[in-house]
Amino acid sequence: MRECFEPQFEAINRRDLAQLQLERLQATLNRVAKNVPLYRNRFAAHDINPETFSDLADVRRLPFTTKADLREAYPYGLFAVPLRDVVRLHASSGTSGKPVVAGYTRNDIRTWSRLVARILVAAGANRDDVVQIALGYGFFTGGIGFHYGAETVGAAVIPASSGGTRRQVAIMQDYRTSVFVATPSYALHLAETLCAMDVNVNALSLRYGLFGAETWTEAMRAAIEDRLKLTATDNYGLSEIMGPGVAGECLEQAGMHVNEDHFLIEIVDPATGTPLPDGEEGELVVTTLTKEAFPMIRLRTGDITHIIPEPCPCGRTMRRIGRIVGRCDDMLIIRGVNVFPSRVESLLLEVEGVTPNYRIVLTRQGALDEALVEVEPTENLLFDRVAEHQALQEKLERRLASDLGVGMTVRLVEPGSLARTAGKTIRVEDRRDLAAPESDTVCRP
């Protein structure tokens, strides 16, 4: 069997796993029914007695938890422990401007670290590695999640955080980084920078790369592996559930092993919520089995994937999920940051002088996403007043960048120039061709 961080769990036999999941599901239900009013009331409203749950399949009788529930519970409404037991808070962006706040107890942090350590080891890392984490630190769970995981593995961790590509390159060369953790688009951007800086990739020490937090493709994997000379794996997590560490690929590179001893997964039809059989594509629904501070019962993740039930040659018995192929809702992922068009709209409208007629155009400049917002100003802004024009444009850009956490270019367009239709207006034009890397970006040393 391939290297495992916790083989006693990762390669557990499925019968023992079912027992463990059942025990943990039952205890979780008892805890949320006792400590979380939303769940207690919802169980009562649906006439559900959590004590009658005697089988894992019974989870299907529970109502879903939606992102709307999470927003309503802002900030601490869904916590199952008092705040004094919480040692960490993270937050993710949300549609309404209110983020979802996730709390962690000391045990949650420890569990999280171990689960990320599993993902890292499965992806090839070990204690001899130098791990460069080029994901955002801070509210975002990516950077800190991988940081703790890599420390748990015993590797030497470089908390490089995101951005500063030339500096990242210098670190990579000087510190002899062997494992690189980033978003896939950033990995490609870095590859271009390496090329532009005329760095010999073969002289770097890179062995493995873990990429996640946004949708990517096999073609992108091939491009990253070719240009960074490393083995690239996909991983999956979301801050509502924990952050990174929910699932990750092993070196077979054939789907992400879900840490099923901590997360119960289902695939449902996104339209009807009906559970779908293994192998069919649908929305991923997750129930946490061990979270203390912020347990989730049947959270609809909005992510579209499928379960791969076949055993994996690596020896892990944890089932895999396929690549995330998209989002159920309209959320855009721009450079790894979640952006909802509705949020862009509300921000635009908060600024005087613009109309609700706008369009977001997404393109790829090399490997990086570029977002352009075209918006029509109100009639009284005259197009010959260049200074005024410029000021409004900059104001909008600043506003969008500070609230969304990702920069967007704003262009003011002639009033009436954006297409209008009676029904659903097309607000987003995604010109990024996520299916294939652009050939003109390919660069070989």
Residues that bind another protein (CB under 8 A): 16, 19-20, 22-24, 26-27, 30-31, 34, 51-54, 81, 84-85, 105-107, 110-111, 290, 292
Nearest distance, CB of residue 27 and another protein, angstroms: 5
Does residue 411 sit in helix, strand or coil? strand
Does residue 253 sit in helix, strand or coil? coil
Nearest distance, CB of residue 56 and another protein, angstroms: 11
Nearest distance, CB of residue 238 and another protein, angstroms: 23
β-strands 130-133, 179-182 pairing? parallel
Of the chain, the end-to-end C-alpha distance in Å amounts to: 36
* Tokens matching residue 114: 């171990």
**Residue 174 near residue 156, CB atoms below 8 Å:** no
Complex with another protein: residue 19 or 390, whichever CB lies closer: 19
Complex with another protein: residue 108 or 192, whichever CB lies closer: 108
Say how far apart CA 124 and CA 113 lie, in whole Å.
Answer: 17
Complex with another protein: residue 22 or 360, whichever CB lies closer: 22
CA-wise closest residue to 208 among 143, 151, 126: 126
* Tokens matching residue 208: 């493995």
Nearest distance, CB of residue 24 and another protein, angstroms: 7
Complex with another protein: residue 48 or 131, whichever CB lies closer: 48
Complex with another protein: residue 12 or 337, whichever CB lies closer: 12
Residue with tokens 């000087």: 174
Complex with another protein: residue 85 or 388, whichever CB lies closer: 85
Complex with another protein: residue 87 or 401, whichever CB lies closer: 87
Say how far apart CA 320 and CA 250 lie, in whole Å.
Answer: 10
Q: What's the one-letter identity of residue 52?
A: T
Nearest distance, CB of residue 22 and another protein, angstroms: 5
3-state secondary structure 320-364: EECCCCEECCCCEEECCEEECHHHHHHHHHHCCCEEEEEEEEEEE
Complex with another protein: residue 111 or 178, whichever CB lies closer: 111
Nearest distance, CB of residue 82 and another protein, angstroms: 8
Does residue 196 sit in helix, strand or coil? helix
Complex with another protein: residue 103 or 302, whichever CB lies closer: 103
* Tokens matching residue 375: 């918006």
| Helix or strand (DSSP H, E) at 25 | helix 14-35
Burial class (CB in 10 A: 0-12, 13-18, 19+), 24: middle
Complex with another protein: residue 106 or 167, whichever CB lies closer: 106
Nearest distance, CB of residue 285 and another protein, angstroms: 22
Residue with tokens 């060369």: 173
Dihedral of alpha carbons 200, 172, 165, 125, sign: positive
Tally the residues of the chain: 445
The count of other CB atoms within 10 Å of the CB of residue 292 is 21
Complex with another protein: residue 16 or 352, whichever CB lies closer: 16
Nearest distance, CB of residue 142 and another protein, angstroms: 25
Nearest distance, CB of residue 29 and another protein, angstroms: 9
Nearest distance, CB of residue 6 and another protein, angstroms: 12
**Residue 321 near residue 305, CB atoms below 8 Å:** yes
Q: Which residue intervals of 123-196 are DSSP H helices?
A: 141-153, 165-174, 184-196
Say how far apart CA 396 and CA 290 lie, in whole Å.
Answer: 43
Nearest distance, CB of residue 26 and another protein, angstroms: 6
